[in-house]
């Protein structure tokens, strides 16, 4: 008999429990807000014991961080920007942002809710600042290579356009012309 089989089955069960916790927390945080959800509610929703929840995540803050890390890993696996430059990179970022809006609605709703509370939640502010700096640097280099007169300003504008589109899409839902906005961005950046 293979001794690895029970361990592999148990490992799969643990991974399944962890994913269930992450999905439940994301859904509840998006619907009720970060502060409106308790660890007890998350455990009940995920159908796991509170002890198991705390085994994986020592706090609600650690759970929220894990949700974003999980989402970022998923996005990176789905659409890597590695090797893309110039207009191809801009197109890839636009496509990725629009895919995110369509496929990660709860996370987008959560992100927007947390954005207005970022200064009250230091760790959210730190995560957002780190991501924005990383993307800002990459975009500034890209717009420099494309000979934009103000590459840093264009990088900020690009981010603001995507943020504004995301907010409007969350408010208007399916009444928002997401494909039309994507086409406008392609035109603006001559893609």
Q: Report d(CA 84, CA 148) in Å as an integer.
A: 18
Q: Report d(CA 37, CA 170) in Å as an integer.
A: 21
Condensed to tens digits (0 to 9), the pLDDT of residues 67-82 reads 888 877 777 666 667 7
Measured between its terminal Cα atoms, the distance across the chain in Å is: 58
CATH of the domain spanning 1-60: 1.10.10.60
Q: What's the whole-number mean pLDDT along residues 4-21? A: 69
Give the pLDDT score at 1: 45
pLDDT band at 158 (very low <50, low <70, confident <90, very high): very high
10 Å CB burial of residue 37 (0-12, 13-18, 19+) is buried
Examine the pLDDT at 94 and tell me if it is beyond 70. yes
CB 70 within 8 A of CB 106: no
Examine the pLDDT at 7 and tell me if it is beyond 50. yes
Going from N- to C-terminal start, the domains of the chain cover 1-60, 79-191
Structure tokens at 73: 């890993």
């Amino acid at each position: 008999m293979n001794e690895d089989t029970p361990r592999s089955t148990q490992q799969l069960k643990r991974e399944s429990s962890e994913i269930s916790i992450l999905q439940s927390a994301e859904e509840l945080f998006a619907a009720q807000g970060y502060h409106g959800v308790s660890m007890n509610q998350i455990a009940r929703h995920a159908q796991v014991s509170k002890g198991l929840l705390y085994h994986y995540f020592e706090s609600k803050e650690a759970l929220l961080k894990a949700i974003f890390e999980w989402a970022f890993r998923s996005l990176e696996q789905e659409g890597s920007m590695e090797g893309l430059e110039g207009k191809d990179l801009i197109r890839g970022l636009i496509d990725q942002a629009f895919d995110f809006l369509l496929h990660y609605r709860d996370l987008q709703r959560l992100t927007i809710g947390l954005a207005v509370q970022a200064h009250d939640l230091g760790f959210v502010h730190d995560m957002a600042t780190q991501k924005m700096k990383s993307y800002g640097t990459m975009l500034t280099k890209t717009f420099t290579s494309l000979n934009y007169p103000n590459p840093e300003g264009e990088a900020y504008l690009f981010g603001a356009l995507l943020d504004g589109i995301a907010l409007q899409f969350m408010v208007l839902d399916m009444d928002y012309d997401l494909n039309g906005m994507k086409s406008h961005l392609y035109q603006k950046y001559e893609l």
